[in-house]
Amino acid sequence: LKLQFLYLIGAVGRAPSRGLRGTGVPKMGTKLSLPEHPGRDKSAVLVLPRFHKLFAVGLVGFTCWAHAMLDEDRPRSKACLKIDEDEQTITVPVWITADFHCPWSYIARASLAEAQKRYPEVKLEVKWNPTIIHTTVPVVGSLPFGEWAPKHMPKIDFDYLTQRDGLIVERGKLFGLDFNMAPDQLMASSVNAHRICYQTLEQKGAEAQDALALQIYSAFFERQEDISSPWLLADLASRADVGMDKDDCIRYLHTNMDREIVNRLAMKSRTDQTLFTGSPQMNFKCITQQVTGTQRPDTYAEILEEYSAYLKEELVRRGVQPRQRLLGA
């Protein structure tokens, strides 16, 4: 990235009509030979944009941003971390971008919880951010996956799905999750589930939202329930003890409140995911940035260890003696 940055800086100072002198890049209209495969003679015309200086400046900006994202030694703000000196704990905000249709997101949350057991001094403030994988599923109602898939996923490989489902079931068992990946699995829209989770976060906070999200995942993947149903979601909210009245939940889900907000957040998540691969995406604030895909507990434990080390350093800096539990961590 540093070399690319220097290259683009040099490109900005070049005259547009002469190509990029000294860089091996020819001027506009020059034919190039592209020997991608031995024995194949292929040619193309390189057309540089008329305002290539502006284009180069844009690439310089993108390169600087990418370098900042990938540089592990860059300074990070820790202002969002909350340290309790009496309890000697640190609270870390974690944003999980996921859809309730993604079984790996359910497994990833369980894997994170398993890693947290090793560092009880690190409290996680988990917040769920919506993304929608299957946008063609009706908002209300459900239908068998085998009926929905051929129309909307014509190139789907059912043999691959069978192998994948077997892997999901085995991985879930490691964390006590009982996946029911039946061939006639229901497809139900996740829009209403995201709406009630968004409203729970706004009204009751992160802890209540996290509890509700886990109830929704369990209902969909373990009990094969219709998570688009307002009555089911209201019942799940009462099971999660989020402090929301059941009748109010049903009335809320029968309106269009927050639907536009959820769709906008989901669209932004899908746009952001073009720069990252994997589902879910976990954003550990302040120290570590993005963690994509489902990781093993050891991977999450390494991240939590950073926060534990920072907690000990900060307690010492404030003149507080860390307890033996922290010193042994």
Q: Report long-range pairs for 220-225 (Cβ below 8 Å, ≥24 apart).
A: 220/100, 220/101, 220/188, 221/103, 221/106, 221/177, 221/179, 221/180, 221/181, 222/177, 222/178, 222/179, 222/180, 223/180, 224/180, 224/182, 224/185, 224/186, 225/186
**Arithmetic mean of pLDDT, 255-265:** 92
Q: Is the pLDDT of residue 329 over 60?
A: no
Q: Which pair of tokens denotes residue 277? A: 């691969």
Q: Are 217 and 168 in contact (CB under 8 A)?
A: no
Q: Which pair of tokens denotes residue 16? A: 């547009």
Write down the residue that tokens 């015309």 correspond to: 45
Q: What band does 19 get if pLDDT is binned at 50, 70 and 90?
A: very low
Q: What band does 77 get if pLDDT is binned at 50, 70 and 90?
A: low
SS3 at position 324: helix
**Arithmetic mean of pLDDT, 124-148:** 76
Q: What is the pLDDT of residues 306-320, one digit of tens each?
A: 999 999 999 999 998
The DSSP code sequence of 284-315 is E-SS--EEES---HHHHHHHHHHHHHHHHHHH
Report which of residues 181 and 97 the model is more confident about: 97
The C-alpha angle 27, 7, 41, rounded to 5 degrees, equals 50
pLDDT of residue 138: 64
Q: What band does 289 get if pLDDT is binned at 50, 70 and 90?
A: low
pLDDT of residue 39: 43
Q: What is the pLDDT of residues 228-255, one digit of tens each?
A: 999 999 999 988 877 778 899 999 999 9
* DSSP 8-state assignment for residue 85: T
pLDDT of residue 126: 96
Q: Worst-scoring range by mean pLDDT, 57-61, 88-92, 251-255? A: 57-61
The C-alpha angle 198, 200, 201, rounded to 5 degrees, equals 65
Parallel, antiparallel or unpaired: strands 43-45 and 31-33: antiparallel
Q: Is the pLDDT of residue 266 over 50?
A: yes
Q: Are 320 and 134 in contact (CB under 8 A)?
A: no
The DSSP code sequence of 1-51 is -HHHHHHHHHHHTS-GGG-BTTTTB--TT-EEE---STT---EEE----TT
Q: Is the pLDDT of residue 50 over 90?
A: no
Q: What band does 103 get if pLDDT is binned at 50, 70 and 90?
A: very high
The DSSP code sequence of 215-249 is HHHHHHHTS---TT-HHHHHHHHHHTT-S--HHHH
Of all residues in the chain, what percent carry a pLDDT higher than 70? 64
pLDDT of residue 72: 41
Highest mean pLDDT (candidates 13-17, 74-78, 235-239)? 235-239
**Arithmetic mean of pLDDT, 103-127:** 95
Q: Cα separation of 268 and 205, whole Å?
A: 22
SS3 at position 61: helix
Round the CA-based radius of gyration of the chain to a whole number and report it.
Answer: 25
Q: How many CA atoms lie within 13 A of 249 on its CB side?
A: 28
pLDDT of residue 182: 74
φ, ψ for residue 225 (rounded to 5)? -100, 160
pLDDT of residue 99: 92
Q: What is the pLDDT of residues 138-195, one digit of tens each?
A: 666 666 666 666 666 666 676 777 788 889 999 999 999 999 987 667 788 899 999 9
Q: Cα separation of 301 and 278, whole Å?
A: 19
Mean of all residue pLDDT scores within the chain: 77
Report which of residues 148 and 216 the model is more confident about: 216
Q: Is the pLDDT of residue 101 over 60?
A: yes
pLDDT of residue 219: 94
Question: Model-level pTM?
Answer: 0.72
**Arithmetic mean of pLDDT, 277-294:** 75
Q: Report long-range pairs for 6-10 (Cβ below 8 Å, ≥24 apart).
A: 8/56, 8/59, 8/60, 8/63, 9/60
